[in-house]
Structure 1
Amino acid sequence: MNANNFPIRILHVFGIMNCGGAETFIMNVYRNIDREKVQFDFIVHSQDEGYYDDEIKSLGGVKYVVPKFKGTNLIDYKKSWKFFFDTHSEYRIIHSHIRSTASIFLKIAKRQGLKTIIHSHSTSSGSGFSAYVKDLLQLPLRDIADYRFACSTEAGKWLFRKRDFNIVKNGINSEEYIYNMKSREYVREKLGLDGKFVIGHIGRFNEPKNHFFIVDIFKTIHEMDPKSALLLVGEGDLRLEVENRINELNLQSNVIFTGIRSDIPELLHAMDVFLFPSLYEGLGIVVIEAQAAGLPCVVSDTVPEEVAITDLVDFFSLRKSEKEWSEQIMKYIGYGKRLDTSEKIKKSGYEINEQVTFLEKFYLDNMVVKN
């Protein structure tokens, strides 16, 4: 490959480019990869504007939209992908971060001569009939894709079973998260958190993050310590229901909703404990970020053990009561110690530059000539 072939363009597939763990990781890679050699474009399943859309454009990327799959539009869904590949011959590699319909469009991509990657970011499809349908749709993926990636061992075993896969760690820039007392004081003053014991959570308001349990835990904590506060960062479909639950419990003056924020390191500095009782996770990149900020984490035992790269993580069973969770969290009142964990992050392989090096080489080594 000579210089005239650069940059190669990699097509990433998502639902929408909002602040989920997979999206945030790929954007971390995108910011740090050599964009004179490798450029990212994105194809999504929503007409809505995503949080990262403007940044993608500023970095030289292009966003395309295909119709959302509804089951009844299978023929049109296939046609939209076939049309896309017929009119975009510049792509040689497609890297999918969604599972359910990937078995449909990766087949089409392979027929068009592309190399295909499926990337597992979870350990469950959720619950109910829709989860059953997703499980059925994704069954062929382990055989369809040319390459299989996963964010953790558990995420890989769940989707690919006995097939081989590469672990691509959800890297971060650890230097950005090193604890800073001034940023802590600034954020706490701005949010009215001075003198408060602050329990924090960062995540999309959807079923896996278990927000209602978070609220119930906080209710118990607040009964024990009226100076406690809950800081909830993110957006999602369940936010209004969570707000209603907080209002029913008369906790609204002690809970702060920040929405989607770009100052995640500073918000982590402002917290005293990070609470993460997820029902399931592929990894939980935000727990890596919390550790990088020197923040104690109380995490459900359904989160992969690989997330614990320091001694700051306490795994706790979801079978335990709200009171037991609360007592575990309350142990950190007056904790105070916020150590620089950046060297541990780097040694663990979760530094972003290591993952960028791997992916850049992988993409360049696997360029193919279309038939």
Structure 2
Amino acid sequence: MQRGGAEMRTLEVMRSLRPLGFICDVVALSGLAGELDTEIEALGGRVHFCRRTFGWRRHLRRILRSGGYTVVHSHVHLYSGILLREAAHCGIPIRIAHFRSTGDGRGNNLVRRCYRWLMTRLIDRHATAILSVSRSALTAAWPRPTDARCQVIYNGLDLKVFSRELDVLALRADIGVPVGAGRVVMHVGNFTQPKNHGFLLRVFAALAKKDQSLYLILVGRGGTIEEQQTRALIEEFSLGGQVKILGVRDDVPDLLRCADVFLFPSVREGLPGALLEACAAGLPCVTSDIPSCREVAERVPGVDCVGLDQPVSVWVERLQRGLASGRASDPQAGSRHLIQGGFDLDTATEALRRAWTVPVVMRSGHP
């Protein structure tokens, strides 16, 4: 399992559930080892590699039948239909489809429509619970969000990491922001199409024309076409001295506490974990006006949603407003707001504990 927003939230819940007697094994459908595998194993879990090649479902059934499992919890969007069908055939009583995105980004041609129809039918037949990370993810993925099996469980953050001691100036210097330099705009997100790095660079380039002391810090997995395009734009806009690409980091909460404003122009999100982290760090946030970001803004102060159809100048004005307001003066304020909004780890852990313990009623006629 690789490091990413959904993966880190899952690992945090696994840590919280371990003292309650839950041991979680992971099936990696990529068939590839990941950065988080050793942490899963340290919690008593196993990582099974089940690459989707010829005979993979037979291999999956062997895993399910030999593990003594009571729960199969699938996070692979509509493809969960296949996995939950196999789990049902293996007699596993609790079978959960968990939607983490508002779409698959694969277009809407005839083949995709047929695929979605079939997978939805399989989930409907075999799922005992249908979870999502936000209202918007549920309504986008599931045709009947009032189904008795449906429940929104917000991802929860481990908020303790946002209050640990930190030498902000030392960390800023370590990432290339000199002591006494200007303010920092930060973005956290892998270099993929939904994160909209091209638009982000255009916004920052316009902002930097007004204040050349600003820095932009980009955190996230690269090695993609999107990263190449981002680097090309950095060169085109002559921003090489002001933009720092850090790649994958395991100290994102600390990095956010070094910033002055958070910029997040995603095209789509199930529930934006990086936005929640920025809120926990007390940062003013300027985000795209998409349903999941609005859902966070309804529950947590300091989130300014701007339409992606708005001109760059509007985004610049909102960032300037955020920089002027500054981060929360009380370092605990962000954590309190997330707890009040239901985005804390304890709330998420208890909701999942219940989901893994008490089966939800099945669709009528299908045991």
Partner of 1:155: 137
What letter matches 2:100 in structure 1? H
Unaligned runs of 5+ in 1: 1-16
Query: Which residue, 95, 105, 125 being the options, matches 1:126?
Result: 105
What letter matches 1:314 in structure 2? D
Partner of 2:89: 111
* SS of residue matched to 1:101: helix
What letter matches 1:177 in structure 2? F
Distance 1:152 1:205, change over 3 A: same
CA-based RMSD of the aligned residues comes to 2.4
How far does the alpha carbon of each residue in 1:106-156 deviate from its partner, in whole angstroms, 9 at most, with x for none?
Answer: 111101111210001111111447993663553222443111001111111
Q: Is the 8 A contact 1:78 1:104 kept in 2?
A: no
Partner of 2:228: 240
Partner of 1:83: 62
Using the TM superposition, give the Cα deviation of residue 314 of structure 1 relative to its aligned residue in structure 2, in angstroms. 0.1
Query: Which residue, 155, 160, 168 being the options, matches 1:170?
Result: 155
Q: Counterparts of 1:196 and 1:129 in 2: how far apart (Å)?
A: 45
Q: Where do residues 271-286 of structure 1 align in structure 2 (5 Å cutoff)?
A: 271-286=259-274
Using the TM superposition, give the Cα deviation of residue 179 of structure 1 relative to its aligned residue in structure 2, in angstroms. 8.6
Partner of 1:95: 73
Partner of 1:135: 116
Using the TM superposition, give the Cα deviation of residue 55 of structure 1 relative to its aligned residue in structure 2, in angstroms. 0.9
Distance 1:211 1:136, change over 3 A: farther
Q: Percent identity?
A: 28
Correspondence 1:295 to 2:283 = yes
Q: Is the 8 A contact 2:99 2:138 kept in 1?
A: yes
Correspondence 1:201 to 2:187 = yes
What letter matches 1:173 in structure 2? D
Partner of 1:214: 200
Q: Counterparts of 2:318 and 2:211 in 1: how far apart (Å)?
A: 14
How far does the alpha carbon of each residue in 1:225-278 deviate from its partner, in whole angstroms, 9 at most, with x for none?
Answer: 111111000104332332223223322221111111111111001111111111
Partner of 2:237: 249
What letter matches 2:277 in structure 1? E
Which deviates further from its counterpart, 320-329 or 129-138? 129-138
Q: Is the 8 A contact 2:284 2:327 kept in 1?
A: no
Distance 1:146 1:213, change over 3 A: same
Correspondence 1:312 to 2:302 = yes
Distance 1:137 1:28, change over 3 A: farther
Correspondence 1:43 to 2:27 = yes
Partner of 1:332: 322
* SS of residue matched to 2:55: helix
Q: Counterparts of 1:218 and 1:278 in 2: how far apart (Å)?
A: 15
Distance 1:303 1:231, change over 3 A: farther
Q: Is the 8 A contact 1:183 1:266 kept in 2?
A: no
Using the TM superposition, give the Cα deviation of residue 218 of structure 1 relative to its aligned residue in structure 2, in angstroms. 1.0
TM-score by length of 2: 0.87
Q: Give the aligned length.
A: 345
Unaligned runs of 5+ in 2: 361-366
Q: Counterparts of 2:62 and 2:345 in 1: how far apart (Å)?
A: 35
Q: Is the 8 A contact 1:275 1:299 kept in 2?
A: yes
Q: Where do residues 176-195 of structure 1 align in structure 2 (5 Å cutoff)?
A: 176-178=161-163, 182-193=166-177, 194=179, 195=181
Q: Counterparts of 1:278 and 1:366 in 2: how far apart (Å)?
A: 35
Q: Counterparts of 2:34 and 2:67 in 1: how far apart (Å)?
A: 25
Using the TM superposition, give the Cα deviation of residue 42 of structure 1 relative to its aligned residue in structure 2, in angstroms. 0.3
* SS of residue matched to 1:253: coil
Using the TM superposition, give the Cα deviation of residue 282 of structure 1 relative to its aligned residue in structure 2, in angstroms. 0.8
Q: Counterparts of 1:322 and 1:124 in 2: how far apart (Å)?
A: 26
Q: Counterparts of 1:28 and 1:135 in 2: how far apart (Å)?
A: 31
Partner of 1:346: 339
Correspondence 1:360 to 2:353 = yes
Using the TM superposition, give the Cα deviation of residue 337 of structure 1 relative to its aligned residue in structure 2, in angstroms. 3.9
Q: Counterparts of 1:179 and 1:209 in 2: how far apart (Å)?
A: 29
Q: Counterparts of 1:142 and 1:227 in 2: how far apart (Å)?
A: 54
* SS of residue matched to 1:278: coil
Partner of 2:363: none
Q: Is the 8 A contact 1:179 1:293 kept in 2?
A: no
Query: Which residue, 146, 150, 156 being the options, matches 2:128?
Result: 146
Distance 1:142 1:201, change over 3 A: farther
Using the TM superposition, give the Cα deviation of residue 43 of structure 1 relative to its aligned residue in structure 2, in angstroms. 0.3
What letter matches 2:227 in structure 1? R
Q: Is the 8 A contact 1:283 1:303 kept in 2?
A: no
Distance 1:203 1:303, change over 3 A: farther
Q: Is the 8 A contact 2:260 2:327 kept in 1?
A: no
What letter matches 1:254 in structure 2? Q
* SS of residue matched to 1:22: helix
Q: Is the 8 A contact 1:96 1:117 kept in 2?
A: yes
Q: Counterparts of 2:201 and 2:129 in 1: how far apart (Å)?
A: 40
Which deviates further from its counterpart, 321-330 or 29-38? 29-38
Partner of 1:10: none
